[in-house]
Amino acid sequence: MRVGVGTMPLDWGVCPHWLFERMKRLARAISLVIIEEFGIEEFLKRISDVVWLQSFGNVLGWDWNSSGLGIVTLAALKEGMRGLETETGVFVCGGKRVSRKTPQEIERWGEFLGLSGEKINKLIYASKMAAKVDSALLQDGFKLYAHNFIFSKNGQWTVVQQGLNPDIQKARRYHWLSSCLQDFVETPHTGIISGARVTPLNLTARESRENKKISRELVVEEPKTFLRDIKLISEKSNTLIRQKRISGFTEIELYDREFHWHPVLKEKFDLKRLKKTIEKAHFLKPENFENLLMTEGVGPKTIRALSLVSELIYGARPSYEDPARYSFSHGGKDGTPYFPRPREMDATIEILEKGIKKAKISSREKIEAQRRLADVF
């Protein structure tokens, strides 16, 4: 099972009504069979698998290499399952244009199920945290514009959200799964694939642990020192590499190749706004980095400023390694990035085939869906 990030060419346009209606019917029919045959937990696992969701979207009739596959497939799933939530025990929230309404949808379904306020808040927290991590901790140049939160009546959940980068005409999809998650702020994606490599600020990596530790300490213990240092860095960023000694800095060796692409030095900070955010966080005294990240007002720029001071002043270098990995669905015959794994391929095909065969749709629709599945594999 691989869940994580997939990268696709960025497409424009809308899904034709006639196609969406058929995708909706197929999504409903196949999903009902999967839930009945394999259970809710397996259904959520499959949705969280980058390759499986891609295959599912292909079977429904969407272009295999389009950025719209994830968004349209999940929209078809949400509409297809509408009215069947009580029967299936699966609740699909969010989407593209309604991503910001996800917490309200979670709360509404939680109250409908009679969940306690604590359980509802945990689900809402998971939704918000996933979005915050993929925008503030994994700063890869892809701006989030779609967010889906799918959960069961037992409290299991999966997140599928998508970001776009107009400069390189790519979209990237992020997958989360509650049963695989051990830490929101460290390696939350349990398997990542991508077709486009970037050089992000990756604070989700284990290598960034010390950088995050110092960032929190700067907020809790030394906000005045941090604000002084970031002001100095902002003023001296053009001459920092060339100068041997600058008041307040430890003399360290820095290589041009790193700062050629350094993602923080390229932007100017709003120091007044940053001061207000840091002082608020200092007042709240977050117990850990996760609490700091969820502080209102703490976003990508605040995190980048803290990370920069932690690196330049205290030598705690974060990771700039892209966690995404290139892959051909189930590997490649030449072993790039690995040789095909028959069991994984068989499991993907078996579940989709069974869903198609048992789905309550016309024979023609079944034949066309099976043909598309055969084209994928």
- Residue 197 near residue 225 (C-beta atoms within 8 A): no
Q: Residue 25: what pLDDT?
A: 84
3-state secondary structure the chain: CCECEEEEECCCCCCCHHHHHHHHHHHHHHHHHHHHHHCHHHHHHHHHEHHHHHHHHHHHCCCCCCCHHHHHHHHHHHHHCCCCHHHHCEEEEEECCCHHHHHHHHHHHHHHHCCCHHHHHHHHHHHHHHHHHHHHHEECCCEEEEEEEEEECCCCEEEEEEEEECCCCEEEEEEEEHHHCCCCCCCCCCCCCCCCCCCCEECCCHHHHHHHHHHHHHHHCCHHHHHHHHHHHHHHCCCCCCCCCCCCCCCCCCCHHHHCCCCCCCCCCCHHHHHHHHHHHHHHCCCCHHHHHCCCCCCHHHHHHHHHHHHHCCCCCCECCCCCCCCCCCCCCCCCCCCCCHHHHHHHHHHHHHHHHHCCCCHHHHHHHHHHHHHHC
Q: Residue 313: what pLDDT?
A: 87
Q: Residue 52: what pLDDT?
A: 84
Q: Residue 69: what pLDDT?
A: 81
Q: What is the mean pLDDT of each run of 10 residues along the chain (377 residues)?
A: 57 75 85 88 90 82 70 92 92 94 96 95 97 95 94 94 87 90 89 70 94 96 91 69 45 46 60 94 95 95 93 90 58 50 65 69 69 63
Q: Residue 341: what pLDDT?
A: 61
Tokens (6 digits) for 376: 């994928």
Q: Residue 217: what pLDDT?
A: 95
Tokens (6 digits) for 375: 């084209």
Q: What is the pTM of this model?
A: 0.79
Q: Residue 329: what pLDDT?
A: 44
Write the CB contacts of 101 (distance below 8 Å, at least 6 apart in sequence).
94
Q: Where are the domains of the chain?
A: 5-204+325-376, 206-312
Q: Residue 332: what pLDDT?
A: 46
